[in-house]
Amino acid sequence: MKKLLANCQVVNVFTDRIDATNVLIEDDRIIGVGPYSQESAHVVEDLKGAFVCPGFIDGHIHIESTMLTPAELARICIPHGTSAIVADPHEIANVCGNDGIEFMLRASEGIPLDTYIMLPSCVPSTSFDESGARLLASDLRPFYRHPRVLGLAEVMSYPDVVARERTVMKKISDATKRGFPVDGHAPLLSGSSLDAYICAGIKTDHECSTFGEAVERIRKGQWVMIRQGSAACNLEALLPLFDEPYSRRCLLVTDDRHPADILWDGHIDSIIRLAVQKGKSPITAIRMATLQAAQCFGLHDIGAIAPGYTANILVLDNLETVRIRDVYYRGSKVFSAGVVKEFEEPAVPQELWNNVCNTVHIGDVSPQDLLVEGSQTLTDNAVVSSSYGSNRTCRIIQCELGELITKELYADINLAQNDGIDIKRDILKIAVLERHKNTGHIGLGYISGLGIKRGAIASTISHDSHNLVVAGADITSMAIAANRLREIGGGCTVVDGTRVVADLPLPIGGLMSQKPALEVAAQNKWLRESAQNLGAWKDGAPFMALAFMCLPVIPALKLTTRGLVDVTKQELVSLFV
C-alpha cells in the first residue's frame, strides 16, 4: 500500500536545508520525495506544513542502564522519536556471558525500535575485578552471523590495545576482517598512544569530556559520540563540535540513561533540544542524530528522508522544541496523539529467562565485614591490622556531578572513630562485594562527593563487572542495604539507619526489571528522592554515579572487589598512602 505525506517541510540531512515537498511511502520504504499528486497513493495525510525528519538513532546505549527490557524501552523511546539504537550488552554479558547477549537479541526481536547489537569486547573489563563470565574471541564469533550484529563494542582495555595484547587484538581482528566497525573507549588518551589505539582499527569514542580531546580524535579520523546521559553529561563542554568543520564527524548518544530521565526529559530529542537552547542549529543536530549515526555504523538504508530509505519518519511541530507529533516506523504509524501503538512482546525461551535471573550469590553481610581494620581483601599487598594504629593517611575517591572521571585525594583518617567515616568532611565508606560466585571478596575504600549525611545506598549495578556496591555514612546501614539486595535478587536500595526506605528489584541479571516502564521510572524517581533525603545530590543521579565508581578503565581512582585501582597506572594500590 502506498501512502503520501503531503505538504511537508522535510529536513534534508544531505544539504542542511528545509525542502517543502511530499513524501511517498510504499510498505516500509520511501519510494519518492517530490511533487507527487494525491492520486499516486492509496492513503494521503496532509501535514499542513509540519516538519518531517528521519527517526533518531542512539549510536551508543546500554539497555541495561535503563533498567528496562528492550520492549519497555521501546515504549518510552518511541514518543521521543527514537527509531533505532546501537546497543552494547556488555553489562548483562559480564553477569551472564553469552546467555546475556542471546537474551538481548531475543528480547528485542520484532519490536518497533531497530535494536542493533555491538558485541561486548571486554568481559571482564580488566583483570582487576571479578565478573560473572569471561568471553573470548571464540565465544563472540558465532554472533557475527546475526543480521542485527554490527560489530565490536567499546574496547575499554586501551592499555592492552596499545600493548597489542593478543586476546584483545584477536577480538578486534575478528570484527575488522569482516568489515565491521569497532567502538572505542579511551578517556584522556592522547598523542602516540592514541595513534596506536586508532591503528588497531578503533573508529569511535564516546568518552571525550573536553573540546580539545574531541578535536584530536576527529583530526585523527575517529567519529566522536557526544554523550548526554544520566551520569555523564558532556554536551556543554563539546558544544563547539556542532560547528564546522567538526560537526560532520559527530553523532549523539546517551550511553547510560535512567527510565525517569527518558520519560520526563527525553532521549535523543532532549540532546537536540538542549543544543538548540545553547544556540546551535537544529538541522545540524538532527543530522548528527540520524544520517551520521547511520553512516558511522554502515547502516545504508536508515537516517534520511530519501528514495530507497526505510520509512522511519518523525512529524514535528517545530524544530526548536523538537516536539514530536507522529512517529512512523517502517511506514506504519506507531505513535500519534500521545499514544504508542500496542505491539506483541518478543518470545524469550523460559530456559533463557532462568539463566539470566537469580544472579546474586553472597552470604549474610555483617557490619564487621565492612570494617577496614578487619578486612583481608583490601588489596593483594595491603592488609590492615591493629598494628597500624588508628590514624592513617588514606586515598579517597573524589567523584563529581556529571562526570565519570574521578580524582584521587589524600586525607588523614581516624579509623577508630566511625571506621574513618567523617560526615563533616564528606568522607563516606564505600565497599564492593563480589556477588557472582560467593567468593566473599570485599574491596573497601572511602569516597567523597556523594554528599550523603546518613544511611546508605547500594546497587548490584556497578560497571562493568556488576558486583554489589554500597556507600554510606555508617557500616550498619551499609550491611543492611547489602543484605536487602540479596533478598530481592538484585537492584537498588536506600537505607536510613536500620530502615529500608526505598528499593527497586532488578531480577534480570541484577540489572533490569520485567515491570512496565512507568512503574520502574516511578520507583527510580522515588529511589533518587530517598537518596537525596539522605543528603545525596539534588541534581543528577547518585545511583548512576555510584555504579561508575567501580569501573577501572576510567581515571583516576576506582574500587573493585580486589581493592583500589590506579586507572592511569593500571595497578592495584593500597588504601594507605
Distance CA 43, CA 46 (A): 10
What's the mean pLDDT when you consider all of the chain?
Answer: 94
Which of these, 108, 75, 104, 109, lies nearest to 88 by C-alpha position? 104
Q: Please, where in the chain does CATH 3.20.20.140 lie?
A: 55-304
pTM of the model: 0.92
Write the DSSP symbol of residue 310: B
Please report, for residues 385, 413, 438, 562, the alpha-carbon distance to residue 420 in angstroms, rounded to integers and kept in the order given.
14, 5, 27, 20
Question: 410-457, pLDDT tens digit by residue?
Answer: 999 999 889 999 999 999 999 999 999 999 999 999 999 999 999 999
Q: Which residue has the cell 556523594?
A: 450
Predicted local confidence at residue 326, as pLDDT: 98
Predicted local confidence at residue 230, as pLDDT: 84
Encode 246-268: b = buried (16+ Cβ within 10 Å), e = exposed: bbebbbbbbbbbbbbbbbebbbb
Instruction: Please determine, for residue 564, whether its predicted confidence score (pLDDT) is greater than 80.
Output: yes
Residue 123, C-alpha cell as written in the block = 568481559
The helix/strand/coil state of 260 is helix
Question: 197-229, pLDDT tens digit by residue?
Answer: 999 999 999 999 999 999 999 999 999 999 999
Domain 55-304 has CATH 3.40.50.300: no
Distance CA 319, CA 567 (A): 42
Task: Decide which of 166 and 539 is more confident.
Answer: 166
Query: How confident is the model over 316-328, as a mean pLDDT?
Result: 95
Is the distance from CB of 486 to CB of 362 less than 8 angstroms?
yes
How much of the chain, in percent, has pLDDT values that exceed 90? Answer: 89
Distance CA 510, CA 525 (A): 18
Instruction: Please determine, for residue 54, whether its predicted confidence score (pLDDT) is greater than 90.
Output: yes
Predicted local confidence at residue 330, as pLDDT: 98
Q: How confident is the model at residue 541 (pLDDT cuts 50, 70, 90)?
A: confident
Distance CA 526, CA 496 (A): 14
Radius of gyration of the chain from its Cα atoms, rounded to whole angstroms: 24
* CA torsion through residues 550, 553, 555, 560, sign: positive
The helix/strand/coil state of 454 is coil
Question: 282-312, pLDDT tens digit by residue?
Answer: 999 999 999 999 999 999 999 999 999 999 9
Query: How confident is the model over 166-179, as a mean pLDDT?
Result: 97
Distance CA 73, CA 262 (A): 9
Q: In 265-357, where do the E strands start and end? A: 313-316, 324-329, 332-336, 339-340
Question: 246-274, pLDDT tens digit by residue?
Answer: 999 999 999 999 898 999 999 999 999 99
Query: How confident is the model over 45-61, as a mean pLDDT?
Result: 97
Is the distance from CB of 227 to CB of 253 less than 8 angstroms?
yes
List CB contacts of 187: < 8 A, sequence separation 6 or more.
Answer: 207, 208, 209, 404, 405, 554, 555
Distance CA 95, CA 487 (A): 18
Question: 76-122, pLDDT tens digit by residue?
Answer: 999 999 999 999 999 999 999 999 999 999 999 999 999 999 999 99
Which of these, 340, 263, 231, lies nearest to 522 by C-alpha position? 263
Q: How confident is the model at residue 231 (pLDDT cuts 50, 70, 90)?
A: confident
Instruction: Please determine, for residue 39, whether its predicted confidence score (pLDDT) is greater than 50.
Output: yes
Instruction: Please determine, for residue 546, whether its predicted confidence score (pLDDT) is greater than 70.
Output: yes
The helix/strand/coil state of 339 is strand
